[in-house]
């Protein structure tokens, strides 16, 4: 970090730097080599250098790259499966909602149709009570009409 930065010398200086360390002189930076040899003094420009050697660098890396790739692919596959399952759940919910709405609509249509049918049946009953078909359409028996043989067997305007 740069001790001369605006952040280190700004309004947050008292929170970032302890009071004991601000009175002490800045120590000279120390640079260590990558082989772990003795520290060497750093440049005199005032910047701080950090030890970039990895701790426990002699240990073998854990796992192999192909194992990591397999785990990544499996993770992607399972994530895709979860997304697919969510999509199937949404489709199922939409189907259920549509089925429920259509069932209600069907119920209302049947109720409405039943009301129309009852009304029509009531109208027919009312008409049959007030209008007697036999009074409007009298029955003429053939025997009564054919009783006078001279009228139908020997008409006046016959050509003999």
Mean pLDDT of the chain: 79
Look at residue 151 and tell me whether its pLDDT is greater than 90: no
Q: Is the pTM of this model over 0.75?
A: no
- Per DSSP, what are the bridge partners of residue 40? 31
Least confident of 20-34, 111-125, 145-159: 20-34
DSSP state of 62: S
d(CA 38, CA 29): 14
- Name, in order, each residue with C-beta under 8 angstroms of 8's C-beta and a sequence gap of 6 or more: 1, 2, 16, 17
In the prediction, which pLDDT does 1 show?
53
């Amino acid at each position: 970090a740069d001790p001369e930065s605006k952040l280190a010398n700004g309004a947050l200086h008292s929170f970032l730097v302890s009071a004991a360390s601000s009175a002490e002189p800045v120590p000279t930076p120390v640079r260590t080599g990558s082989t772990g040899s003795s520290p060497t003094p750093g440049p005199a420009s005032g910047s701080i250098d950090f030890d970039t050697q990895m701790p426990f660098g002699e240990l073998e890396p854990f796992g192999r790259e192909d194992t990591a790739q397999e785990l990544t692919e499996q993770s992607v596959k399972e994530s895709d499966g979860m997304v697919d399952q969510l999509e199937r759940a949404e489709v199922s919910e939409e189907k259920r909602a549509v089925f429920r709405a259509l069932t209600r609509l069907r119920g209302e249509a049947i109720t409405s149709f039943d009301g129309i049918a009852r009304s029509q049946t009531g109208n027919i009953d009312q008409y049959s009570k007030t209008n007697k078909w036999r009074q409007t359409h009298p029955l003429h028996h053939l025997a009564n009409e054919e009783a006078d043989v001279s009228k139908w067997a020997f008409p006046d305007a016959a050509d003999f």
